[in-house]
Amino acid sequence: MSRLRYFFKRLLLSLPVLVFGTSVTFLAIHAGPVDPVAAILGTQTDAASQEEYNRIRRQLGLHLPLWQQYIEFMIDMATLDLGQSWVISPKTSTETLISAYAPRTLWLGFWSILIAIFVGVPLGFYAGMRSNTSADYFASVGGIVWRAMPNFWLAVILVAFLSQSQEFVGVSWQTLGPDVTVTGAAPLQNLSDPNNLLAAIKKVFPAALVLGSASMGNEMRIGRTAVLETINKNYVQTARGKGVSRRTLVWKHIFRNAFIPLVPIITGEAFVLIGGSVLVETVFGINGIGYLFYRASVQGDLPLVGSLMFVFILVIVFVNILQDLLYILIDPRIGYSDT
Amino acid sequence: MNQDTETQSTTGNALDAVRANPRPVAVWGAVAALLLLPELGAVLASVAEAVAILVSLIPGDPGAALVTDIQRAVGDIPTLLSRETIPNRGYYDGSQWQGTFAGLEPRDAWLLRAVLIYTYALLVFWWVVVGYRWFRSNYRVSDWTPFDDMLDRFRTHRWGHFGLLVVVLFLILVVFAPSLSTTTVDQNIVDPYSHEISYYDHEVESVEQTTVGTANRESQSTGEENIGPWTYDDYGRFHPFGTLPSGKDLFTFIAAGARVSLVIGLVAIGLAGLIAVSLALLSAYYQGLVDLAVVLSSDSIQGLPSLLILLLLSVLLSDTWIGGIYSGGFVLALIYGAISWPFLWRALRGPALQTAGEEWVDAARNFGQAPHTIMRKHILPYIAGYLLVYGSMSLGGAIISIAGLSFLGLGIDAPTPEWGRAVNAGQEYVASESWHISLIPGVLITLLVTGFNALGDGIRDAIDPQSDTDSGTESAATGGGA
B322 shares a domain with B207: no
More confident residue, A54 or A306: A306
Q: Do A313 and B445 touch (CB under 8 A)?
A: no
Q: Of the candidates B400, B442, B479, which has its C-beta nearest A157's C-beta? A: B442
Window 260-319 of A, Cβ < 8 Å to B: 261, 264-265, 268, 271-279, 282-283, 293-294, 297-298, 305, 309, 312-313, 316-317
DSSP-derived 3-state class of residue B276: helix
Task: Note the pLDDT tens digit of each residue in A106-147.
Answer: 899 999 989 988 998 899 888 888 888 888 888 888 888 888
Domain boundary among B207, B223, B248: B248
The arithmetic mean of pLDDT across residues A282-293, rounded, is 91
> What does the pLDDT read at residue B473?
45
What is the CB neighbour count within 10 angstroms for residue A108?
30
Best to test chain A binding among B298, B393, B430, B435 (most A CBs inside 10 Å): B430
Tell me which residue in A20, A147, A282 faces B478 most closely, judged by beta carbons.
A147
Best mutation target among B158, B307, B435 (most A Cβ atoms within 10 Å) is: B307
pLDDT at B470: 45
pLDDT tens-digit series, residues B424-456? 999 888 888 888 999 999 999 999 999 998 999
Do both B299 and B237 map to the same domain? no
pLDDT at B163 over 90: yes
> How much is the pLDDT for B173?
95
Q: What is the pLDDT of residue B259?
A: 92
- H/E stretch holding B239 reads strand B238-239
Using the beta-carbon criterion (under 8 Å), do A274 and B308 form an inter-chain contact?
A: yes
| Residue B164, in any domain of the structure | no
A151 touches chain B (CB under 8 A): yes
| Residue B363 pLDDT class (50, 70, 90 cuts) | very high
Q: Among A3-12, A105-114, A170-179, B128-137, where is mean pLDDT lowest?
A: A170-179
What does the mean pLDDT of chain B come to? Answer: 86
Whether B238 and B356 map to the same domain: the answer is no
- Average of per-residue pLDDT across B13-37: 88
What lies within 8 Å, CB to CB, of B293 at 6+ separation is: none
- Residue B206: phi, psi to the nearest 5? -150, 170
Residue finishing a domain among B229, B248, B267: B248
Q: Is residue B77 part of a domain?
A: no
**Is pLDDT above 60 for A32?**
yes
Phi-psi region of B469 (alpha: psi -120 to 50; beta: other; left: phi over 0): beta
Same-domain pairing of B360 and B466? yes
* pLDDT exceeds 70 at position A338: no
- Per the structure, how many domains does chain B have? 2
Closest CA–CA distance from residue B481 to any residue of chain A (Å)? 4
Residues 6+ apart with CB under 8 A from A36: A29, A30, A60, A62, A300, A302, A303
> Average per-residue pLDDT in chain A?
85
Residue A195 predicted with pLDDT over 90: no
Does some domain include residue B63?
no
Residue B372 within any structural domain of the chain: yes
* B480 contacts on A by Cβ (under 8 Å): 271-272, 275-276
Same domain membership, residue B260 and residue B282: yes
Q: Do B383 and B274 share a structural domain?
A: yes
At a CB cut-off of 8 Å and minimum separation 6, what does B169 contact?
B118
pLDDT at B471: 41
pLDDT, mean of residues B349-368: 90
Residue B112 located in a structural domain: yes
pLDDT of A105 above 80: yes
- pLDDT score for B479: 57
Same domain, yes or no: B210 and B322: no
Predicted confidence at residue B60, as pLDDT, reads 67
pLDDT class of B480 with cuts at 50, 70, 90:
low
Q: Identify the burial level of B383 via C-beta atoms within 10 angstroms of its C-beta, where 0-12 means exposed, 13-18 middle and 19 or more buried.
A: buried
**Contact yes or no for B482 and A164 at CB 8 A:** no
CATH of the domain at B303: 1.10.3720.10
The better pLDDT of the pair B380, B53 is held by: B380
Beta-carbon contacts of A77 under 8 Å, excluding residues fewer than 6 positions away, are: A22, A307, A310
Q: What is the pLDDT of residues B166-215, one digit of tens each?
A: 999 999 999 999 889 999 888 888 888 998 888 888 888 888 888 999 99
pLDDT tens, residue by residue, A294-309: 999 988 888 899 999 9
Helices (H), chain A: 2-30, 36-41, 47-59, 66-78, 94-129, 134-148, 151-163, 165-169, 194-211, 213-231, 234-241, 246-248, 256-258, 262-267, 269-284, 289-299, 302-330
Whole-prediction pTM value?
0.89
> Tens of pLDDT along A215-246?
888 888 888 888 888 888 888 888 888 888 88
Q: Which residues 183-212 in chain A show a CB within 8 A of chain B?
A: 211
Residues 6+ apart with CB under 8 A from B449: A148, A150, B396, B397, B399, B400, B477
In a domain, B374, yes or no: yes
Which of A145, A272, A279 minimises the CB distance to B408?
A: A279
Residues β-bridged to residue B98: B91
Residue A289, pLDDT above cutoff 80: yes
Topology (CATH level 3) of domain A101-299:
MetI-like fold (1.10.3720)
> Both B106 and B236 in a single domain?
yes
- Is the pLDDT assigned to residue A44 strictly greater than 70? no
B423 contacts on A by Cβ (under 8 Å):
150, 152-153, 156
pLDDT at B469: 47
Residues in contact with B463: Cβ distance below 8 Å, sequence separation at least 6, in sequence order: B1, B150, B385, B386, B389
Mean pLDDT of B100-117: 90
**Encoded amino acid at A91, one letter:** K
Hey, is A227 helix, strand or coil?
Answer: helix
Cβ atoms of residues B236 and B428 within 8 Å:
no
For residue B82, what is the DSSP state? Answer: S
| Same structural domain, B230 and B273 | no
Strand B238-239, strand B196-201: pairing? unpaired
Question: What is the phi-psi region of residue B242: left when phi exceeds 0, alpha when psi lies from -120 to 50, beta otherwise?
Answer: left
B65 domain residue, yes or no: no
Q: What is the per-residue pLDDT for B115?
A: 94
pLDDT at B467 over 80: no
Q: In 3D, which of A310, A331, A217 has the Cα closest to residue A19?
A: A310
B214 and B312 assigned to the same domain: no
Could you give the percent of chain B with pLDDT greater than 90?
A: 39
CA distances from A203 to A115, A193, B294 (A): 14, 15, 44
Counting every residue, how long is chain B?
482
B399 and B433 share one domain: yes
Whole-number percent of chain A with pLDDT over 90: 17
DSSP for B300-345, written as a single string: HHHTS-HHHHHHHHHHHTTTSSGGGGGGGHHHHHHHHHHHHHHHHH
Residue A42 has pLDDT above 80, yes or no: no
Which parts of B76-217 fold into alpha helices (H)?
Answer: 106-134, 146-155, 158-175, 177-180, 185, 212-217
Asked if residue B261 and residue B226 are part of one domain, the reply reads no
CB A297, CB A39: distance < 8 Å: no
Residue B72 lies in a domain: no
User: Mutation test of the interface with chain A: which of B421, B443, B474, choosing the one with the most A Cβ atoms within 10 A?
Assistant: B474
Please say which residue of B248, B276, B305 terminates a domain: B248
Q: In angstroms, rounded to a whole number, what is the distance separating the alpha carbons of residues A180 and A173? A: 9
Using a CB-CB distance cutoff of 8 angstroms, which residues of chain A are in contact with residue B474? 218, 221-222, 265, 268
Integer Rg of chain B from CA: 26
The tens digit of pLDDT for each residue in B147-161 reads: 888 888 999 889 899
The tens digit of pLDDT for each residue in B41-86 reads 888 888 888 887 777 767 666 677 787 888 788 777 778 888 888 8
Which domain range does residue B243 map to?
Answer: 87-143+182-248
